[in-house]
Structure 1
Amino acid sequence: MPQVLLVDDDPESIGWLSEFIKAEGYTVGSVDSLRAARIHLTRSRPEVILTDLMLPDGQGIELVNEFPAGEAPELVVITGHASVESAIEALRAGATDYLVKPVDVERLRGILQRIPKAEHFRAEIGELRNELLRLGRFGHILGNSPVMRRLYDQLARVAPTSASVLLIGESGTGKEVCAQTIHELSRRKRQPFLPLNCGAVSPQLVESELFGHEKGSFTGADRQHQGFFERANRGTLFLDEVTEMRPDLQVKLLRVLETGSFMRVGTNDPIATDVRLIAATNRSPEKAVSEGRLREDLYHRLNVFPIHLPPLRERGTDIELLAEHFLAELNEQEQTAKRFSPEAIAALYAHSWPGNVRELKNYVHRAFILADEVIEADMAPEGFLQPAHSPVLTIRIGTPLDEVNRRVMEATLLECGNVKRKAAEILGISLKTLYNRLAAYNAGKVEGDAEGFDGEDIEEEYEDGAAEEYRGKRA
């Protein structure tokens, strides 16, 4: 039978909480101080620690430090100091959830029902890490670059908790996929995951979508409607572009987060809800606060665990990995075997991808439609090959030097519109050296001849007797 350790110096609280938790099917141990809790933990390991925040000899959250990283049991903080700030700080310090005195028994019951043994989550996250090593995939997210590995570590740490998460990233970076990954690694995984884009819904309808409405509450309300907070009970609600929400609705959202209840439009009867909130924005939240687009108190309530999603241009070889993945999906759907040319791959690295992963996916789909067998660089949309600023070529640390040289040369040629003389000048090498290196990169061609170039091309561009030397080689 799973065990709960109660840490509280109030005998009355210990008494009724013990009886309630036993009735829920747990065994209960109780102590009245941090020192007594530490002694208890040397003898047994509970599945859940339910601790008052303020104890005679310190704060209950300090018990997190009694365990090695990743091995702490679930720790729920109870605070009579009903400031949301104290609860948020507890979550940031490592608590998995919090309760405010007087404790709501339904909320406590929900917490207990959500808490299986922590080993389950560690095992699941371990499996995802193994999948990352094998396939470059972490759940629904694809990518193996260092910035993405740091992102996966953050997702793995916050997912098993009940902390609110604020995802910050440019449009197209995959905020909804990250939110879904957090949900599927949490104790709420068997409950609903509902996404709502606050910027895509009419401002007049957002309140009804979030909180629901009663029949007849406004023109056209011909039936009762359950909102997202009602339908996502015990699950996860993902609010994308939260800075686009009207200020008056931000006040109501804050009230739900603080009280755990809401009211449908057209009624004053509160409805309890247990929802984990994940919010997202493609703006700087601090700037949105300074501009009055986001309430400061709501920002601090959402910003318990902020996660910044990297843009595609900072993800190195993930660009190629994602492009090949999207192409493989299309090949499987259409029973084809299309592929990228080396020049097309070089073009991927030369582009800045302002639309991020969404733009890359759309580009691959378009190029797939246009290509017969090979996707060439010239199948890119207009402006794709001529970014407004100098392109950046990202190469993973540890890439062999020959491969580095090849990619730099191909990207430079692409940037120069395949004018070899200009590319040679930029690279600081002779035209002859450029052709020799191109020839070396194209196995199976005549020595000294680069793929796609004939003798006339080379003779026309060679200087200072190089054409004669080249003719001698071909002879």
Structure 2
Amino acid sequence: MSHVLIVDDDSDTREALAAIIAQDGLTTALAGDLREARIQLVRQTPDVVFTDLKLPDGSGVDLFEDLDPTSGVEVIVITGHATVESAVSALKMGATDYLVKPINMQRVKAILSRLPRPGDLKAEIGTLRGELRRMGRFGLMLGSSPAMQEVYDQISRVAPTAASVMLVGESGTGKEVAAQTVHQLSLRRKHAFLAVNCGAISPNLIESEMFGHERGSFTGADRQHKGYFERANGGTLFLDEITEMPVELQVKLLRVLETGMFMRVGTTKEIETDVRLIAATNRDPEQAVVEGKLRLDLYHRLNVFPISLPPLRERGKDVELLAQAFLEELNERYGTRKHFPPAVKEMLLSYPWPGNVRELKNYVQRAHIMSSADSDATAVVPLQISIAKPSAGTAITIPFGTSLAEADRQLILATLEQCGGVKTRAAEILGISLKTLYNRLVEYGNDTKLAEGEASDESQTVGRANV
């Protein structure tokens, strides 16, 4: 039977909590200050601790020092309205959740219903780390590079808590997959995970989508509609592109975070919700605050635990791992047995992937679609070059009167230079075979250039092997 320790200097609060907890078949121990709490900890290690932050002889967070970090004890802190910031700080230190006085007993029941058996969640996370070492997977995420190992460590720490998470990363880095992984490793995993793209909803409809509306509340509202906060009750709500949310709605979102209450459009009746928020943006959130795109107070509430997702170009051989996983999915879906030829593998590692994982997945699908039906190899299709930020030196000037042969020579050599000497990539861009490119270089009598190109290819291969 699970055991709960309740630490609060108010006897009415202690007795009310004990009565609710006893209904769930849990045993309880009561303490009015830190001294009594430490005595109870010696007598019996609890599975859950409810502790007030303000105690006569110190702060409830001081109990963290008396708890074995490997014991799996869940800590829920209790605070007054004026000290919610202290509760957020406690979450960063490892608290699982927090309650605001006057305590809502329905919220207590919701917290208890989410609590796993001691150590269950930590054991599952440990198992996932074992899978990572074997397969390069962590939950729904894939990759074994040092940059991703750091992300996995952060998710391991924050997932079992109630802390809000802010995911920051370029478009296509997998922020929604990271959010789903946090949810699946959290105490809310048996409840809903809902994703909302704040930039994809009309500003006129976003409040209704978030909080719902009553029938007849506006033209076209022919029925009652439950919003995301109501449907995600008990679970996780992922707000993608949070900086695109209208500022006036951010005020209402902040109120939900502070009180756990909201109102459907067209009514004054408050509805209670218990939702964990994970926000994401591909912008610098602090710059968004400066530009007035994101409220400072909301930013602090959402940014309890920030996680930065690395771009694909910083993940080394994760590119190969991801590409192979995407190809295996396509093979399973279409009953094929395709593999990447060497030329494609070389391109995968030499390309900077401005569109990150999303661009890589699209490329693998194109290569699979364009491949011949009677071949087990994917097609060698050209990579799409980003035109948003052209690099310097990507154009050559050919004066009027230049012979076609000379223009051809300049174009080939310039393309080879832009590709860093990687001839396979240069041949692909030029639309010629690798053999033709070699022959042209020999024709130009440029054996030195050819040798330099070969050396460049070799050095890049060695460099990639050491990633």
Paired amino acid for 1:50: F
Q: Which residue of 2 aligns with 1:267?
A: 267
What does the per-residue CA deviation read over 1:47-95, in whole Å, with 9 as the maximum and x for residues that have no partner? Answer: 1000010122221112223234343410000012533311211111111
Residue aligned with 2:204, SS: helix
What does the per-residue CA deviation read over 1:169-219, in whole Å, with 9 as the maximum and x for residues that have no partner? Answer: 111111111111111111111111111111111111110001000110000
Structure 1 residue 383 corresponds to structure 2 residue 393:
no
Q: Is this contact kept in 1: 2:423–2:457, CA < 8 A?
A: no
Q: Which residue of 1 aligns with 2:191?
A: 191
The structure-2 alpha-carbon separation of the partners of 1:424 and 1:284, relative to structure 1 and needing over 3 Å to count, comes to farther
In the TM superposition, what are the counterparts of 1:40-59 in structure 2 within 5 Å? 40-59=40-59
CA distance in 2, matches of 1:64, 1:310: 32
Residue aligned with 1:332, SS: helix
Q: Is this contact kept in 2: 1:179–1:278, CA < 8 A?
A: yes
Residue aligned with 2:316, SS: coil
Q: Following TM superposition, by how much is the alpha carbon of 1:335 offset from its aligned partner in structure 2, in angstroms?
A: 2.0
The structure-2 alpha-carbon separation of the partners of 1:415 and 1:55, relative to structure 1 and needing over 3 Å to count, comes to same
Q: Following TM superposition, by how much is the alpha carbon of 1:275 offset from its aligned partner in structure 2, in angstroms?
A: 0.8
CA distance in 1, matches of 2:359, 2:33: 56
Q: Which residue of 2 aligns with 1:250?
A: 250
The structure-2 alpha-carbon separation of the partners of 1:91 and 1:436, relative to structure 1 and needing over 3 Å to count, comes to closer
The structure-2 alpha-carbon separation of the partners of 1:54 and 1:366, relative to structure 1 and needing over 3 Å to count, comes to same
Q: Following TM superposition, by how much is the alpha carbon of 1:17 offset from its aligned partner in structure 2, in angstroms?
A: 2.2
Q: Which residue of 1 aligns with 2:20?
A: 20
Q: Which residue of 1 aligns with 2:10?
A: 10
Q: Is this contact kept in 2: 1:343–1:410, CA < 8 A?
A: no
Provide structure 1 residue ranges, at least 5 long, that are not aligned to the other structure: 391-408, 442-475
Q: Which residue of 1 aligns with 2:148?
A: 148
Q: Which residue of 1 aligns with 2:423?
A: 413
In the TM superposition, what are the counterparts of 1:192-231 in structure 2 within 5 Å? 192-231=192-231
Q: Is this contact kept in 1: 2:168–2:282, CA < 8 A?
A: yes
Q: Which residue of 1 aligns with 2:354?
A: 354
Q: Following TM superposition, by how much is the alpha carbon of 1:43 offset from its aligned partner in structure 2, in angstroms?
A: 2.8
CA distance in 2, matches of 1:211, 1:384: 39
Q: Is this contact kept in 2: 1:350–1:411, CA < 8 A?
A: no
CA distance in 1, matches of 2:315, 2:69: 28
Q: Which residue of 2 aligns with 1:314?
A: 314
Q: Which residue of 1 aligns with 2:179?
A: 179
Paired amino acid for 1:59: S
Q: Is this contact kept in 1: 2:72–2:122, CA < 8 A?
A: no
Instruction: Choose 11-20 or 218-227, whichever is displaced more.
Output: 11-20
Paired amino acid for 2:86: S
CA distance in 1, matches of 2:452, 2:128: 49
Residue aligned with 2:126, SS: helix
In the TM superposition, what are the counterparts of 1:77-116 in structure 2 within 5 Å? 77-80=77-80, 82-116=82-116
Q: Normalising by structure 1, what TM-score?
A: 0.82
Paired amino acid for 2:111: I
Paired amino acid for 1:169: G
The structure-2 alpha-carbon separation of the partners of 1:75 and 1:382, relative to structure 1 and needing over 3 Å to count, comes to closer
Q: Which residue of 2 aligns with 1:371?
A: 371
Q: Which residue of 1 aligns with 2:237?
A: 237
Residue aligned with 2:385, SS: coil
In the TM superposition, what are the counterparts of 1:285-296 in structure 2 within 5 Å? 285-296=285-296
CA distance in 2, matches of 1:426, 1:112: 71
Residue aligned with 2:82, SS: coil
Q: Following TM superposition, by how much is the alpha carbon of 1:376 offset from its aligned partner in structure 2, in angstroms?
A: 5.2
Q: Following TM superposition, by how much is the alpha carbon of 1:430 offset from its aligned partner in structure 2, in angstroms?
A: 6.6
CA distance in 2, matches of 1:123, 1:436: 46
CA distance in 2, matches of 1:311, 1:435: 25
Q: Which residue of 2 aligns with 1:398?
A: none
Paired amino acid for 1:41: L
Say how many residue pairs are matched: 418
Q: Following TM superposition, by how much is the alpha carbon of 1:116 offset from its aligned partner in structure 2, in angstroms?
A: 2.2
The structure-2 alpha-carbon separation of the partners of 1:172 and 1:425, relative to structure 1 and needing over 3 Å to count, comes to farther
CA distance in 1, matches of 2:307, 2:146: 15
CA distance in 2, matches of 1:140, 1:305: 20
What does the per-residue CA deviation read over 1:416-473, in whole Å, with 9 as the maximum and x for residues that have no partner? Answer: 546566998689x678x869989xx9xxxxxxxxxxxxxxxxxxxxxxxxxxxxxxxx
Q: Is this contact kept in 2: 1:3–1:26, CA < 8 A?
A: yes
The structure-2 alpha-carbon separation of the partners of 1:257 and 1:430, relative to structure 1 and needing over 3 Å to count, comes to closer
Paired amino acid for 2:51: T
CA distance in 2, matches of 1:426, 1:195: 53
The structure-2 alpha-carbon separation of the partners of 1:316 and 1:430, relative to structure 1 and needing over 3 Å to count, comes to closer
Paired amino acid for 1:353: W
Q: Which residue of 1 aligns with 2:407?
A: none
Q: Following TM superposition, by how much is the alpha carbon of 1:44 offset from its aligned partner in structure 2, in angstroms?
A: 1.5
Q: Is this contact kept in 2: 1:343–1:376, CA < 8 A?
A: no
